[in-house]
Structure 1
Amino acid sequence: MDDGKELTDLKAELEKLRKQIREFEQISNQNKKDIGTSARHPWRNDLILHNSPDGLALVGMDGKIIDANPALCRILGYPKDELIGIDIRILEAREVPEETTNHMNKIAKEGGDRFETRLRRLDGSIIDAEINTNLCDNGDERFFITFTQDITQRKEAEEALRESEEKYRTLVEMSPYAIAIFQDDKLVFANQTAERLIWGASGEKLIGRIGFEMVSEHDRDRLRDYAKKRYQGDSSAPNHYRVDLIRANGEIFPAEIFSNRIIYRGRPAIQLMATDITDRITAAKALQESETKFRTLVEQINAVTYEALPDENVSAIYVSPQIQKLIGFTADEIISNPFLWLGQIHPDDRQRVKDEIARTFPHGLPFSLEYRLLSKDGRIVWVHDEAIPKCDAQGRPIGFHGVILDITRLKETEATLAFSEKRFQQLFNSALEGISIHDPQYIIQFCNPSLANIFEINDVSEIIGKSTLDYMPDDQKQIIIDQLELRKKGLATQYELNIVTVRNNRKTLLVSSSPIFDPDGKFQGSLSAVIDITERRELEKIQNTLMRISEATSLTESLEELLQTIRNAIGDLVDTSNFYIALWDDNTEVYSFPYRVDSISPAPGGPVKLVNTLTDFVRRTGQPLLATAEDREKLGLSVDFDNINKTPISWLGVPLKIFERVIGVVAVQAYSSEGFYTERDLKYLSMVAGHIGMAIERKRAEDDLRESERRFHDLFEHFASGYILCKVVTNDAGQPVDFIYLEVNKAFEIITGKSATEVINKSATEVFPIDYDIELIKLCGEVALTGTPVRTERFSLATGRYLEMMIYSTRYGEFASVFSDVSEKKIAEKALHDSEERYRAIWENSPVGICMTDPNGVYHYVNKTYCNIYGYSSEELIGRPFYDLIMPPERRASARVSFAKNFGKSKTGELSETEIFIRKNGEPVSIQFTSDYVMQDGQPKYEVAMNIDVTEKKRAVDALRESEERYRLLIENADDIIVNLDYSGKILLLNRAAARYFKKAPSELVGQTIWDLFPAETAQHYIASVRKTLDSNETLNI
């Protein structure tokens, strides 16, 4: 009821605003003939309109554009000279062209109009635009004034917001997990799964219930305490735990709970996700019982079994007797001395073992290690240690069960093989880096072909046996010596060298070297990898030069100063001793020289023709030219000037282009053989030519700007949107504290109800004290002082409406603002944003990985948990098919076909069997998932999949199953007869050796008693002995 009343009030307020706007428009039409006389400062209006970021145009009554500002040219992608004279009906991209004519007729009749339309740019692309148009009647002439804003991004954002809201709503309602949100200990949201699977009640019955009445009594306080801590922002409270829940029929079942603190409808809340884990617990319990039975039968295997605590010393609480044969210590010695076990691990391996335990144990992970033990008599014993966590009834790890195998002989064999194996010759020779091994005296013992190529030497045989210092310039030799001394101390080093190759080419090398020591710790030499980084350093030099040119374009005031700076900058790349710029005039067909420096040829006295010259050739062809004196003669070209005694022997010229139009040539020339230019110089000069052309064009544009200012001097008053020009007021610290109105237009007076005489030369805080907004003052001040334009929206208490403002600086310390009434749009946007934010919060914070894919398997959405599971960022996933990223390579082709074939047909809502996928780093990950479809027009558009990472759980189960199987096989294949009896003498289990002894199949023997197999007297004696052994817990030998 409150929401309905609020909507009614909003509609009434909107109707009131519409009525006021119609009244203001009527007043504006009555005063149009007086608009042109109200401009107080025409030069300010001209400056404001020219610098406006929104498009302005004068349009004749026939619909053709008379004039346009730069912003409109930029919006439509037209040069100004092509835009002038175009009929505006050609620009409008509408299916019904008569609508443009209807708007013109309406404006001619009513004096103004504001509407949205679609415009076609010069390149054919379509943009959304908002048009404000007024009729201007100065008595002698009538024309339209249009104000154009590009609203394409705003339209796209509105559409994206609507799609996002629908997407998140669908994701929540279709989840196979029970999702509930609690505020103030009460349920405020529950999805369909929560209603159906957990409680079985309708949404109306659930909403408002006490939050924890469905939790069993023994878990209720604990869960309430956790939820309270998470609600208060305490991140130390667990967000994943197991509790017992109560169904509506009173049935109690185990559940897995994920919790998270979210913001729901503007307030903190707790989100819970629940799923039934009854089947999982039953299976785990059966597997644990089976493993316990077989573990007790492995004391005679050829391996050491143990149980240890995860403390600092890895204290053993059980070790099998085989430990004495392995390292000479008895099991009792190791168990009674908590420091002994860790102390017998080789010092070089000890920390690695401790680190692996610290990495795996807290997460309940198994570990597998190879390390060395020190025996009692000083021998080194290599062992392979396999261990899995021992967990309590709640699944918490409390210790280790492990098996240790003696692999000393295997390791000795591996060491012998590694020592005798060829030095990885194929890998060594095929490496792109230059690799070498040299002794302590710098002599190269081995090297690959890449190193010979770097030094431009034909064969590696020419290098081996030579000293590294033989190939180094004198100023680099000390670097080699100093780096070698560091490696003798055991340090790996990386450094750069500048060399000259045998072919006299200069190169920069990056060298990475590591020391080589023998088993006794004696330094034997170095292993080095060399990379040629000459090109990388040259590219850095080019980048620095272009940055200097870019900065100079903004900082210099005159064209001559800019060109002098450009010459100095490119002088680091190309010899600019003889440098000039020649500009072409299309009207007079002559060249002028705004900048020229030459040691031989003087500058011309004025413009020249330069027919059939090198400069004219480059301008006509539009292509760079590198030419010697011989090349010039072959082309039939002459030098640029005849009044010189010496002609250049090397000439390099590049065209200056503006939008593919050649406006001139930049050139350098050399008069001696030392200054010959190369293809590298041609590349460098071509890179900067575009920057030079843009600088010259900017200067020419300044003259056009003055003419444009004159033509726009009276447009300020003609816009339907409000315009103001203000001067910022600052305090002693230079911070904006107020602003003074210098100029306002008629629309401002209509919107605010204030006349120009009430506002001009007065401060904002004086004119609108009710609207005093220090943040708005700061924002306007920053624009005026920094020159950075901003667009913002504010609610004005003085007018009672939302205003959209475009604020930009006209000169330092001043700003102009264009503002429009956007109250209706703001109300609609807020309602849509609130709904989208509510559903986004639920899924972005979900602890379950969620993705949404189209029929081609391409990702359209992933949440943070999904990215964490597979190790990708959302940017790496969106737009790419899942089977190319997370499917094992051998399954990708079949997955692509299967997914496309079954899209929309697969069974939904149920958890899958565990499947293996691949993380970004190549590691496998075990996933259980469920999926459903997002429907559109009755057809599936997207598949939504919920992913649960069960990798660690699967590894633990697999390890437990493997342990059980290993013990079972050891017993089954043992040569000794193994029989497991109960107290009454009935056979529970026996191995194959026992079956062979009794000459029966194992299945025939299980369940029989000793009396079935032996004479009564023998059976009685044996059973008596067995019972005595069981009662005393001693070993029986019969």
Structure 2
Amino acid sequence: MTKAKIRVLIVEDDLVDRMACRRALVQNPEYEFVLSEAETGREGLQLAHAQKPDCVLLDYHLPDLNGLEFLAELRNDLGEIPVPVMMLTGADNASVAVEAMKRGAQDYLVKDVNRQYLELLPAVIQRVLRERRMLMEKKQVEENLVQAEAKYRFLVEQIPAITYTTALDEPGKLLYISPQIQQLGFSPEEWLADPDGLLKQIHPEDRALMRAEIARGYESGESLRCEYRLFTRAGEVRWFLNEASLVRHASGEPLFLQGVLVDITKDKEVEAELHLHRRRLEEMVANRTTQFEKQTEILKSANTNLANKLGACTQAGNALKKYADQLADLYHNAPCSYYSLDPDGVFIQINDTGLNWLGRTREEVVGKMKFTDLLTPASGKTFLESYQRFKEDGWLRDLQLEIARKDGTSLSVLLNASAIKDAAGRFVMSRSMMFDITDSKFAEQVP
């Protein structure tokens, strides 16, 4: 069976000690030790940098350097010692060995007069390498976590919605909130420092409902979904949809609550218009029905045809009411599309809602298609004019466009966006939100 190899550099000026270390390692039955030797500190440093051994056995007393000086010069540009070092000291230098550990040595052995340290040498080297490997694995995990957090934070901060996480031990206490909270006129730091930052901005009429929903979500572990009004710093009232879910550890243990706040003020305005339209339709139908009922009472004995017309009008009224209800449901539950464009208007990213609207795959769109490729000619001209101004102003509000889907149908949308610029003020990309207003435009045509 092939034995695993361990490359060891022995930096020792005493030939007898070097040979003793060599014998102790070569005779080990578990590992094949591949050995290099150096008599001086300078030679040892050259070999350590050139060969990059798995471990360095370093005698403290060398002709040109002592062990602490060797450790100092072995460090790389990052101030790290790139290879585990085990210090070999005399029995009277135990305090020096401890200092070497503080300076970066992985371990040490005391060279006793009976040379019993040679029996421990292979096992100690194995332990040093095992500890080094565990340390490097931990460092890699930490680096991966930092990279993952940076990637998540970048993605979160690109979408127009406000993203947040809250603690479980203190309901309502924010752990993180995205910079989009500035839409309300507040900085993330203000809300993170105030445990009641969110609750204080909720409309008084909605606070009881919000508290009840939060309590229910915490107790049951179910997803949170509710709508309520928030005050901006300027006192303006805006409607928000709050959707949140409990994030759990792989073991099932709940960790925190993560959610998004989506501004649905426009949806609520459309919903109110539809409600008013529906009420007017109902009043018209009710008035018409009353008129026909009176006429029917007077003429029912002589005019059955008029009664039939009354029934037809009643059915028409019910059909209009049903249609208005369907429109209200559509607008109330209408999703929105998040996406980003580069300075040339090419898609950088887009969510699945937007792709479903377009009838296209992510491979077709991202990095390949411009937003104007999806618009009707008239809307394309409107968008190009607005996009140029948008890159300068930084904001785009309530732009209505017509999108040509892949299947040939069209989609009316309402576009809002904010610009991301670099430190020099140059436009980098957009943060865009698109609402489907196809049904809304149709409703406007109903007399």
Q: TM-score if structure 2 supplies the norm length?
A: 0.36
Q: Which has the larger radius of gyration?
A: 1
Give the structure with the larger helix fraction.
Answer: 2
Q: TM-score if structure 1 supplies the norm length?
A: 0.17
